[in-house]
Structure 1
Amino acid sequence: MRTNEERLNELLAHLDSLDHIHVDEIPQIDLYMDQVTTFMEKHLGELKRYPEDKVLTKTMINNYAKNNLLPSPVRKKYTQEHILLLVFIYYFKNLLSFTDIETVLSYITENHFGTSESSLAEIYTKVFSMEHDQMDRLKEDVKEKFEKAKETFPTAAEGSGDPENAESLQLFAFICELAFDVFLKKQMIERLADELRDANPPKKKK
């Protein structure tokens, strides 16, 4: 059985292997629905939990448009900006409701989608330029949480008497720390979304 240290090293190696879609990887020509799903599968497939999962489906894209997360395609074709928004939606969708995602993206879609001033591609590039530093901070935080979990449940050599039990409790404590971190950050994002929604009520559909 793997030790917790081996699990930690695998997690950190997995983080190092991740990357985002770069603007220059997105085709400059508009894409049909099938081409969009194929592109997203190719470039974000490594983020899937299970091989049979789908990064994006036609139903998902139609639901995003129906719920105002994504502007409608033009003559059934999706632009580079549609792809960029879909990437943001992909990262948000496991944490936030459709309503919150619409709120968070509303300023971008209303003011920077299909415009030449501060284009969506520029905004996307600047946001993801923070990725490297954020990843470094994340890895250090994960290591710190791991060490804290070890201190919470000492090993057998330090008096617990059962090394397997100590490893299991340390792993549980580590998972709890990661989960609590996600929970608190989700709370903050939801509060910010509520504030944005209160300040800028959604426009009624015609």
Structure 2
Amino acid sequence: MADFNQYTRWEHQMHGVKLPRWDDLPKFDLYMDQVTALINDVLGPLGIDTVTPAMINNYVKHNVIMAPVKKKYQTMQLTDILMISLLKPMFQTDTVRSGIDQITAGDYPKQAYDNFIGQLEDRLHHLGEDQVQPAAQNLNEKLMQVAVDTVVSRLQSEKLLRLIKRPLRKIEKK
């Protein structure tokens, strides 16, 4: 019962999560250490693994995000890193990149990012409640809904697994 109460408290903590919209992100370019600090501060309350400079360098190397200009990252790169960090545990980075490209092909990157973050925040704020999502009007909207559901389900699953994890008995060899 104590574990379930812990889970319920976690759900209530998620109700208060505030994620940055495009306009909330810095209006100036950031160096790598500033980028990792910002991304990790944003994602920390969700319990998502920290982002390292090596990870970001790999995203650049593999053309998952645009290369920095004079070692400085802009808003577009920050939003890409945030999205990749949220979705990478479930999908390969090239699949995440493809999804971002697909969504932004039909919508401005700012609007697409804000829509995703808004939907994610809304789902987190209503964890533990029966919630009916509006019907998607097209495949891009459906893709975004499924991606948000996937992130939320992953967060819930990881929290539940941490709470119910028990030491496993060692099986004796005969």
TM-score range relative to shorter protein = 0.5 to 0.7
CA RMSD of aligned residues (A): 2.8
| C-alpha separation in 1, matches of 2:10 and 2:47 | 15
Question: Is residue 15–residue 126 contact of structure 2 (8 Å, CA) maintained in 1?
Answer: no
Distance of aligned partners of 1:136 and 1:40 in 2 relative to their CA distance in 1, 3 Å threshold: closer
| C-alpha separation in 1, matches of 2:41 and 2:29 | 17
Alignment of 1:63-142 (within 5 A): 63-107=58-102, 111=105, 118-135=107-124, 138-140=127-129
| C-alpha separation in 1, matches of 2:108 and 2:88 | 23
Shift of 1:133: 4.3
Question: Is residue 17–residue 125 contact of structure 2 (8 Å, CA) maintained in 1?
Answer: no
Question: Is residue 31–residue 73 contact of structure 2 (8 Å, CA) maintained in 1?
Answer: yes
Return the TM-score normalized by structure 1. Answer: 0.54
| C-alpha separation in 1, matches of 2:117 and 2:42 | 15
Q: Which runs of 5+ in 1 are unaligned?
A: 113-117, 143-177, 180-206
Shift of 1:62: 0.6
Return the TM-score normalized by structure 2. Answer: 0.63
Larger radius of gyration: 1
| C-alpha separation in 2, matches of 1:136 and 1:16 | 4
1:16-48: CA deviation from partner (whole Å, max 9, x where unpaired):
132322223211111111111121122222223
| C-alpha separation in 2, matches of 1:78 and 1:108 | 22
Distance of aligned partners of 1:97 and 1:14 in 2 relative to their CA distance in 1, 3 Å threshold: same
1:103-158: CA deviation from partner (whole Å, max 9, x where unpaired):
2223357x59xxxxx5422221122232354336642259xxxxxxxxxxxxxxxx
Residue 56 (structure 2) aligns with:
61
Shift of 1:60: 0.6
Q: Does 1:14 align with 2:13?
A: yes
| C-alpha separation in 1, matches of 2:125 and 2:82 | 22
Q: Give aligned-pair identity as a percent.
A: 28
Instruction: Indicate the structure with greater helix content.
Output: 1
Shift of 1:13: 1.3
| C-alpha separation in 2, matches of 1:3 and 1:38 | 31
Aligned residue-pair number = 133
Residue 2 (structure 1) aligns with:
2
Q: Which runs of 5+ in 2 are unaligned?
A: 132-155, 158-174
